[in-house]
Amino acid sequence: MREFSALSRAGGKTIGLVPTMGCLHRGHLSLVTRAHQEANSTVVSIFVNPVQFGVGEDFEKYPRTEAADLAACEAAGVDAVFLPTAAEMFPQDFSTFVNEEQCAKGLCGEFRPGHFRGVATVVHMLFNIVAPDVAVFGQKDAQQVAVLRKMVRDLFLPVKISVAPIAREADGLALSSRNRYLTSAERRDAPQLHAALLAGKSVARSGVAAPEVLAAVAAHLGCFPAFCPQYIVLADAVTMAPVETVGELGAGKHLLAVAAYLGATRLIDNEVF
Ligand code: PAF
């Protein structure tokens, strides 16, 4: 991988990295399109990162679709796919982790202890191996983006973070590799997660107290008993600190984020305003 990057660079090319855990869908391919726009050579990494999964989470059953992923990368004009093994990345004696301590608090950080430590660590490793000029992530994982932006800033990493909008199904459901876990009845309810966020966003005006916005989201989700919400949060879109009162709208300062179980599947989604 390092040789590929060195050769690309020697040929005057910039490198765009799209880090993924595979099971590629249209959302990932939109990240590839963004990477093509921002760099001359696009690398996709596929690695189901064991250290970002907690005990009892879906590491074992996380879908692995390597052949289809490679075909999708080829069709999308990806220049190289980096597919390390877990033993190469995390040998038995691995003992160095990256811990971002501000943006990783709250939201998913509260319910998935160690998750962002695992993400920051593996992404830092991928940056060291691939040496990209730009790395592209999806807005769906808004807290992950905040953590990684902060890591890049705090540690002076020479990588630009580029963020692509959430790719959605026609009915509003945010694309996710985990959507394939949904039963057909759950799939019918799933778009209500986004509809609930839009209900919250519709009551958000400058000066409105956050609980009013959160109540609108909760009320909408409450109409669909199959959902078991884990959190509904209005946060500063950069720091992830809770927002108490809605401020200036339209500047992208507010992140309205939700995580909810639909049956056994944990879904997340967000709106920025
Ligand atoms: O967003 C993901 O798929 C993962 O968290 C990432 C960034 C590839 C790190 O394992």
Give the separation between CA 252 and CA 247, rounded to whole angstroms: 10
Residues 6+ apart with CB under 8 A from 184: none
Give the separation between CA 251 and CA 273, rounded to whole angstroms: 6
Instruction: Among 139, 164, 189, identify where a domain stops.
Output: 164
pLDDT of residue 98: 98
Short-list 85, 90, 146, CA closest to 118:
90
Residue 28 forms part of a structural domain: yes
pLDDT tens track for 13-24: 999 999 999 999
Residue among 122, 126, 136 to mutate when testing ligand 1 (max atoms within 8 A of CB): 122
Give the separation between CA 234 and CA 237, rounded to whole angstroms: 9
Residue 222 forms part of a structural domain: yes
Q: Which residues have any ligand 1 atom within 6 Å of their CB?
A: 19-21, 49, 52, 119, 122-123, 141, 144
Residue among 43, 48, 141 to mutate when testing ligand 1 (max atoms within 8 A of CB): 141
Confidence of residue 106 (pLDDT cuts 50, 70, 90): very high
Say yes or no: 195 and 158 in one domain: no
Say yes or no: 193 and 130 in one domain: no
Confidence of residue 228 (pLDDT cuts 50, 70, 90): very high
State in Å: Cα 250 to ligand 1 middle. Answer: 28
**In this structure, what DSSP letter does residue 245 have?**
B
Active site residues: 28
Residue with the nearest Cα to atom 8 of ligand 1?
A: 20
pLDDT of residue 268: 98
Percentage of the chain with pLDDT > 90? Answer: 100
Say yes or no: 150 and 185 in one domain: no
Instruction: Among 140, 164, 188, identify where a domain stops.
Output: 164
Query: Which residue reads 């939109």 in tokens?
Result: 30
CB 159 within 8 A of CB 135: yes
State in Å: Cα 21 to ligand 1 middle. Answer: 6
Residue 171 forms part of a structural domain: no
pLDDT of residue 103: 98
Short-list 122, 120, 166, 181, CA closest to 28:
166
Residue among 17, 21, 82 to mutate when testing ligand 1 (max atoms within 8 A of CB): 21
State in Å: Cα 127 to ligand 1 middle. Answer: 13
Say yes or no: 205 and 145 in one domain: no
Say yes or no: 8 and 40 in one domain: yes
Residue type, 115: H
pLDDT tens track for 14-68: 999 999 999 999 999 999 999 999 999 999 999 999 999 999 999 999 999 999 9
**In this structure, what DSSP letter does residue 12 have?**
T
> For residue 245, what is the domain's CATH number?
3.30.1300.10
State in Å: Cα 209 to ligand 1 middle. Answer: 33
Residue 262 forms part of a structural domain: yes
Instruction: Among 142, 164, 186, identify where a domain stops.
Output: 164
Residue 169 forms part of a structural domain: no
> For residue 126, what is the domain's CATH number?
3.40.50.620
pLDDT tens track for 260-269: 999 999 999 9
Tokens standing for 256?
A: 């309205």
Beta strands in the chain (DSSP E): 15-20, 41-46, 80-82, 134-138, 160-164, 227-236, 254-262, 265-272
Residue 172 forms part of a structural domain: no
Backbone angles phi, psi at 74, to 5 degrees: -65, -45
Q: 124 lies in which domain range? A: 2-164
* The pTM of the whole model exceeds 0.85: yes
Residue with the nearest Cα to atom 3 of ligand 1?
A: 20
Percentage of the chain with pLDDT > 70? Answer: 100
Q: Dihedral sign, CA of 189, 195, 200, 203? A: negative
CB 216 within 8 A of CB 203: yes
Identify the H or E element spanning 67: helix 66-75
CB count within 10 Å of CB 260 equals: 23
Residue 15 forms part of a structural domain: yes
Say yes or no: 95 and 225 in one domain: no
Give the separation between CA 268 and CA 111, rounded to whole angstroms: 12
pLDDT tens track for 165-223: 999 999 999 999 999 999 999 999 999 999 999 999 999 999 999 999 999 999 999 99
Say yes or no: 156 and 181 in one domain: no
When divided into structural domains, the chain yields a total of: 2
Give the separation between CA 173 and CA 188, rounded to whole angstroms: 10
Residue 45 forms part of a structural domain: yes
Give the separation between CA 190 and CA 91, rounded to whole angstroms: 38
